[in-house]
Amino acid sequence: MYKQMKHKLVPLLIICSLILTFLCSCGQEKEDNTEYVAVVSAMDNEIDLLIKEAEIDRVDKISEENYYVGKLSGKPVVIVKSGIGKIRAASVITSLFDNYKISKLIFTGIAGGVADEVKVLDEVVATRLLEHDYGIMSNEGFVWRSGDPGFGNQDGVYYFCDSEMVELAYSAAVSVVGEDRSFKGTIATGDQFIASEEYVERLSRDHDAYACEMEGAAVAVVCIKYRVPFVVIRAMSDKADGNAHESYENFGDIAANNSSRIVIKLLQSL
């Protein structure tokens, strides 16, 4: 009896094994060897127009974030919202590089104007970025220190954007908003929404900053570690002064759309 059952079970087990193997192979996704340009912004209103204009093939959900995969301006792209602040930005950029073949990265969105000549709705393309909130807090107050050595220049103060992408982004900005509203320069990053004339003056005096925001330098650090060329493009929603909150409410969406239009133009030249 045992031998008869054994003879019947063996073919059945083989068939079940073959079926299971087939089902598993059908469920496996093909490896994606496409090289993508990553387009990242911190907030929904900063990527809304980009998603609307893109041809989205699929939406991948990774660690609760939606990664929109498709084409924009004819280029393969992955569009994602990073969330606000340095920690969230660095986390999402790392996830991007670990899950997709990213050839270039564009970070876009709104910021506060710092330089006197930079007005609301102007555009600033970062040539370099720094962390303005990196330092030591003591009883005497805050003392700024340079960032992590080995990323920017020799003392580690600055994180430099890709020079070719900077020039292409600046040209795109000029074509969208005009030369008188387009700037290239230093952008200062910190985990604060700046609404202080005194602090703006310090950022201008100490760092020669054109704008301030909350993600760019963190994005730069990850891109440099992964050796991915990148650029940061910012539209001014406010002047980072006492009226910053009101100005942001009035001009935030317009500024975000302007930057999105520049990204669309930039992608055409990449």
| Residues in Cβ contact with 161 at an 8 Å cutoff, skipping those fewer than 6 apart | 125, 126, 127, 128, 129, 220, 230, 231, 232
For the question of residue 57 being annotated catalytic, the response is no
**Phi and psi, residue 218, nearest 5°:** -65, -40
**Phi and psi, residue 70, nearest 5°:** 175, -140
Instruction: Output the six-digit token pair for 255.
Output: 């500024």
CA 231/CA 103 separation, integer angstroms: 12
Q: Which of 122, 123, 215, 238 is catalytic?
A: 238
> Which of 109, 122, 127 lies closest to 208 in space, CA to CA?
127
For the question of residue 116 being annotated catalytic, the response is no
Helix/strand/coil for 116: coil
Q: Which of 46, 123, 131, 215 is catalytic?
A: 46
- Residues annotated as part of the active site: 46, 238
